[in-house]
Structure 1
């Protein structure tokens, strides 16, 4: 028999990523991804690959060559200074061939004025030993410079202030490709695999929720509060069901808008 080897690093990573909840009968068990508050998003594309890492979880859509969503928990102790950290993109060994797909996407993106950007900000995980996971190509997307350095950056700054004042919050973010989700399951083309917008959901254990939707053309001079949206709108556009284990009647009664600088 070949011995099973499980390193200490593997153990730490598994504990960081997963909760194990034993069922009451037999050997049945349920696995929950700790980065996803009240369950990871439920999606229509059953072929997606769920990847759980130390600082986030994501659902990778191989047809598009990009993540449909990425979930992470923001903690005061994880925030840090990223000035000295590398920002070089890193190929993902879990997804062979992704680097070539990314190269094709970047060729199309350059002509449209898009840049490769992170779904999880480096500064939000800079104080962890796993900050390099934010540089993996599977956790990247294509955004306009104005959005990335404008309202998107402003919301990230407000989020860090909120976490420093209040404590942990959970974030789910990802691309939007059109007013309705694509159910064709056909491989994406250079024209269809570019996001037209992005969503960011910010929630707490108590059920407070704020929802934002940013068009790629969102003006650099606009405040992130002008991008507020509703959970229903984002679910309609993406085909995702967020926070599936939460009773809707108990969820979202309160928002974090005021604490994020919105009136």
Structure 2
């Protein structure tokens, strides 16, 4: 083989390699690598003490230790969660919701296995729910993260998903999600925790537990940015506990409960960062129910008692004058 032939072969190989590299680079650009599961895996770890999504506390005291596979803390940019390897899903997901997280981005539908799980753990894939009869139910909803595509994409990681009966997921659950965003559009800031409890079966060849009920806790702050300091004994809280089955009511208000009751059922401490006296005041209430003797309406009760006493005295004196 002559020198010219060898040069032509070397040039051909060189330009082929260059072409392949260019093709890979272009594929990466146009296929959206920055929004992919691989890119999300490369995110730097977030310090638990600085995660805004754990402002109200770490409900189960989850940790990042590999020795804690049933209560494994995972911190994303857009939410925090406790993952349960043995149940194939989250114990709970916690997130902040205010106007800064909302925009006009459409659902990315970027369903993906969470590659940031520890090596050797089963990866639940988007197809794992196929044929199960259950929806891939978001804990933090896609519509709570519409500022940009990256944030929205992160809600489609399977570590944010639980099996939900269609009537649960598409009915009362989604209606409460909409109501929460309405509160934000009115100027409130919310801190939300959601998850499942109990077991009614398994799917994905036994890798994913179907919860018997789904629950949610919402803390409503009227002044955004105050965090724990903005929580007082009058702070509104919403807690719901819904059967994870078809045929249930589509009205989320039918499933309201107290935080105390949810804590008893789950074993979690939902507001662990809030002073204990304030926790006691707000966790025993059911949203919307009237409790007479609390700081919110004690003044009104006092006025009512005073007016009733004056009326009674007036009637008594009137009767005396009439000689009755």
Query: Does 1:139 find its partner at 2:164?
Result: no
| Corresponding residue for residue 24 of structure 1 | none
Please say which of residues 203-212 and 143-152 is displaced more in the overlay.
Answer: 203-212
- C-alpha displacement at 1:244, in angstroms? 1.3
Mapped contact 1:33–1:40 kept (Cα < 8 A): no
Q: State the match for 1:117 in structure 2.
A: 137
1:41 aligns with 59
Q: Is the 8 A contact 2:113 2:126 kept in 1?
A: no
Residue from 181, 196, 203 that aligns with 1:160: 181
Other-structure match for 1:211: 239
Flag the 1:178–1:240 CA change in 2: closer, same or farther, 3 A: farther
1:218 Cα deviation from its structure 2 partner: 6.1
1:50 aligns with 2:78: no
Which structure dedicates a bigger proportion of its chain to helix?
2
Equivalent residues of 2:168, 2:248 under 8 A apart: yes
Residue 238 of structure 1 and its aligned partner are, at CA, apart by 1.5
Q: Judging changes above 3 Å, is the alpha-carbon distance between structure 1 residues 256 and 170 closer, same or farther for their aligned structure 2 residues?
A: farther
Distance 1:97 1:139 in 2: 19
1:246 to 261, 274, 293: 274
Which structure's relative contact order is higher, taking Cα pairs within 8 Å and 6+ residues apart? 1
1: distance between equivalents of 2:208 and 2:88?
A: 11
Stretches of structure 2 lacking an aligned partner (at least 5 in a row): 1-38, 222-229, 289-324
2:77 alignment partner, SS class: coil
Q: Separation in 1 of the partners of 2:215 and 2:124?
A: 23
- Report the Cα offset of residue 80 of structure 1: 2.9
Alignment partner of 1:195 out of 211, 225, 240:
211
1:71 aligns with 2:94: yes
- Larger CA Rg, structure 1 vs 2: 2
Shift of 1:251: 2.8
1:181-211, Cα deviation, whole Å (9 max, x unpaired) = xxxxxxxx83981111111000143242211
Shift of 1:44: 8.4
Distance (whole Å) between structure 1 residues aligned to residue 266 and residue 171 of structure 2: 24
Relative to the length of structure 2, the TM-score reads: 0.60
CA drift of 1:77 comes to: 2.3
Bigger strand share: 1
Q: Secondary structure at the match of 1:199?
A: strand
Counterpart-to-counterpart distance in 1, 2:105 and 2:172: 20
Q: Which runs of 5+ in 1 are unaligned?
A: 1-8, 20-30, 180-188, 259-263
Asked if the contact 1:92–1:136 (Cα under 8 Å) also holds between the matched residues in 2, the reply is yes
Conserved 8 A contact 2:89-2:208: no
CA distances 1:98-155 after superposition (whole Å, capped 9, x unpaired) = 6754579526xx34x2111211111111114422110111111110111111101110
How does the TM-score come out when normalised to structure 1? 0.73
